[in-house]
């Protein structure tokens, strides 16, 4: 696996999720499986099958998080003195007459509903290395969209 770029905040959130999965949810699911087994015939035991399915999900997510954490490269950005956009920056842009503000983050922590976009997304990649006053063009399903950079912090 290649290095995974994360913000410090993103790394802490992933570590917390990992700790919860390993120390709490994994133990809870083992207990649920044991209780379901006590009900007898496993072939028609819905609680058992649901718990086993959840266990598979939890173990898969633990493995995924272990890979991410092992390969994490933390970008520490407490703002930008040179005005250049990098991972960890909060960027304010203008699209037509609308202003938007979002954070540039590592791919595992991207969440558009929280206004966190990946540095590998078309917009994130276009903004990296740019500064206030620059205009970037991003190809979207609706056509080309122009973003004017109004602020970086």
Structure tokens belonging to residue 82:
């040179």
Counting as low any pLDDT under 70, the low residues of the chain are 77-80
Phi, psi of 85 (to 5 degrees): -75, 130
Residues 106 and 64 reside in one and the same domain: no
Is residue 65 within 8 Å of 50, Cβ to Cβ?
Answer: no
Per-residue confidence (pLDDT) for residue 1, from 0 to 100: 74
Which of 74, 93, 122 is a domain's end point? 74
Q: What angle do CA 109, 5, 20 make, to 5 degrees?
A: 45
Structural domain including 86 reads 77-152
Structure tokens belonging to residue 138:
């991003």
Per-residue confidence (pLDDT) for residue 42, from 0 to 100: 81
The Cα-based distances of 91 to 41, 71, 125 in angstroms read 57, 26, 13
Length of the chain: 153
Residues 115 and 57 reside in one and the same domain: no
Residues 64 and 87 reside in one and the same domain: no
Per-residue confidence (pLDDT) for residue 14, from 0 to 100: 97
Which of 40, 74, 108 is a domain's end point? 74
Distance CA 37, CA 43 (A): 10
Is residue 51 within 8 Å of 32, Cβ to Cβ?
Answer: yes
Residues 28 and 83 reside in one and the same domain: no
Number of domains observed in the structure of the chain = 2
Residues 88 and 124 reside in one and the same domain: yes
Distance CA 89, CA 15 (A): 21
Beta strands in 17-142 (DSSP E): 72-75, 90-95, 98-105, 116-118, 135-140
Distance CA 111, CA 138 (A): 19
Q: Which residue is it, tokens 């999965």?
A: 21
pTM for this one? 0.81
């Amino acid at each position: 696996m290649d290095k995974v770029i994360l913000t410090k905040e993103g790394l802490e959130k992933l570590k917390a999720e990992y700790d919860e999965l390993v120390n709490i949810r994994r133990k809870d699911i083992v207990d649920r499986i044991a209780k379901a087994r006590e009900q007898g015939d496993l072939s028609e035991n819905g609680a058992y099958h649901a718990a086993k399915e959840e266990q598979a999900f939890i173990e898969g997510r633990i493995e995924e998080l272990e890979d991410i954490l092992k390969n994490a490269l933390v970008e520490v950005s407490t703002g930008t003195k040179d005005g250049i956009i990098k991972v960890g920056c909060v960027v304010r842009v203008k699209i037509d007459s609308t202003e938007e503000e979002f954070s540039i983050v590592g791919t595992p922590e991207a969440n558009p509903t929280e206004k966190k976009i990946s540095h590998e997304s078309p917009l994130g990649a276009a903004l990296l290395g740019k500064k206030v006053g620059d205009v970037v063009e991003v190809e979207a399903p609706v056509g080309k969209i122009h973003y004017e950079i109004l602020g970086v912090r």
